[in-house]
Chain A
Amino acid sequence: MIQHLTSLPVLLPMLAAVILLMPPCGKSIAIRRVASVVLSIITFLASLALLLKVQADGTQVYAIGDWSAPFGIVLVADPLSTLLACLTALLGIVCVLYASAGDDDKGSFFHPLVHFLVLGVNGAFLTGDAFNLFVFFEVLLIASYSLLMHGGDKKNTRAALQYVIMNLVGSAVFLIALGVLYGVLGTLNMADMAQKVSLLQGDDVYLAKIGGLLLLVVFALKGALLPLHLWLPNTYATAMPIVAALFAIMTKVGVYSMMRVYTLIFGDEAGELSHMAQSWLWWLALATIAMGTIGVIASKDLRKLAANLVIVSVGTLVALVAVQTVEASSAAIYYLVHSTLVTAALFILADLIGRQRGNVADRITAGPPIAQPRLLGVCFLIAGIAVIGMPPLSGFIGKVWLLKATLNAEYTFVFWPLYLLASLAILIGVSKAGSTIFWHHQGSVQSNATENAGQERVHPAQLVALIILISGAPLMSLFAGPLSEYAIDAATQLHDFNYNIKVILSGGQ
Chain B
Amino acid sequence: MELLYASCVGILVSCGVFLILRSRTFPVVLGLTMLSYAVNLFLFSSGRLSLNKAAVLGNSTQYADPLPQALVLTAIVIGFAMTAFVVILAIRGRADLGSDHVDGLVLDKNSDKKNDKNKKGKV
Contacts of B106 on A, CB cut-off 8 Å?
none
How far in angstroms is the closest Cβ of chain B from A374? Answer: 40
- Counting chain B CB atoms within 10 Å of each CB, which of A158, A162, A172 scores highest? A172
Q: Which B residues from 30 to 71 make CB contacts under 8 A with A?
A: 32, 35-36, 38-40, 42-43, 45-48, 67-68, 71
Q: Are A176 and B86 in contact (CB under 8 A)?
A: no
Judged by DSSP, the binding face of A is: helix
For residue A392, CB closer than 8 A to chain B, the reply is no
Contacts of B97 on A, CB cut-off 8 Å?
154, 157-158
For residue A161, CB closer than 8 A to chain B, the reply is yes
Residue B35 contacts which of A135, A149, A172 (CB distance < 8 angstroms)? A172
Q: Which A residues from 158 to 203 make CB contacts under 8 A with B?
A: 158, 160-162, 164-165, 168-169, 171-172, 175-176, 178-180, 182-183, 188
Contacts of B46 on A, CB cut-off 8 Å?
179-180, 182-183
Q: Are B20 and A161 in contact (CB under 8 A)?
A: no
Q: Are B32 and A165 in contact (CB under 8 A)?
A: yes
- Who on chain A is nearest to B35 by CB? A172
For residue B8, CB closer than 8 A to chain A, the reply is no
- Who on chain B is nearest to A186 by CB? B65
How far in angstroms is the closest Cβ of chain B from A265? Answer: 17
Q: Are A161 and B75 in contact (CB under 8 A)?
A: no
Q: Number of A interface residues at 8 Å Cβ cutoff, please give it.
A: 27
B-contact 0/1 string along A321-360, CB 8 Å cutoff: 0000000000000000000000000000000000000000
Contacts of A157 on B, CB cut-off 8 Å?
89, 92-93, 96-97, 104
- Who on chain A is nearest to B20 by CB? A169
For residue A138, CB closer than 8 A to chain B, the reply is yes
How far in angstroms is the closest Cβ of chain A from B102? Answer: 6
- Counting chain A CB atoms within 10 Å of each CB, which of B39, B68, B103 scores highest? B39
Q: Are A175 and B39 in contact (CB under 8 A)?
A: yes
Residue B96 contacts which of A154, A169, A178 (CB distance < 8 angstroms)? A154
* Tier of interface size on chain B: 35 or more
B-contact 0/1 string along A251-270, CB 8 Å cutoff: 00000000000000000000
How far in angstroms is the closest Cβ of chain B from A204? Answer: 13
Contacts of A165 on B, CB cut-off 8 Å?
20, 28, 32, 86, 102
For residue A416, CB closer than 8 A to chain B, the reply is no
Q: Are B43 and A179 in contact (CB under 8 A)?
A: yes
Contact A169-B35, Cβ < 8 Å, known A142-B85, A145-B85, A160-B89: yes
CA distance A183 to B67 in the complex (A): 11
CA distance A138 to B83 in the complex (A): 12
CA distance A188 to B90 in the complex (A): 34
Contacts of A180 on B, CB cut-off 8 Å?
46
- Counting chain B CB atoms within 10 Å of each CB, which of A142, A161, A162, A169 scores highest? A161
- Who on chain B is nearest to A169 by CB? B20
CA distance A172 to B12 in the complex (A): 13
5 residue pairs A–B, Cβ–Cβ below 8 Å = A153-B96, A164-B89, A169-B35, A172-B35, A183-B46
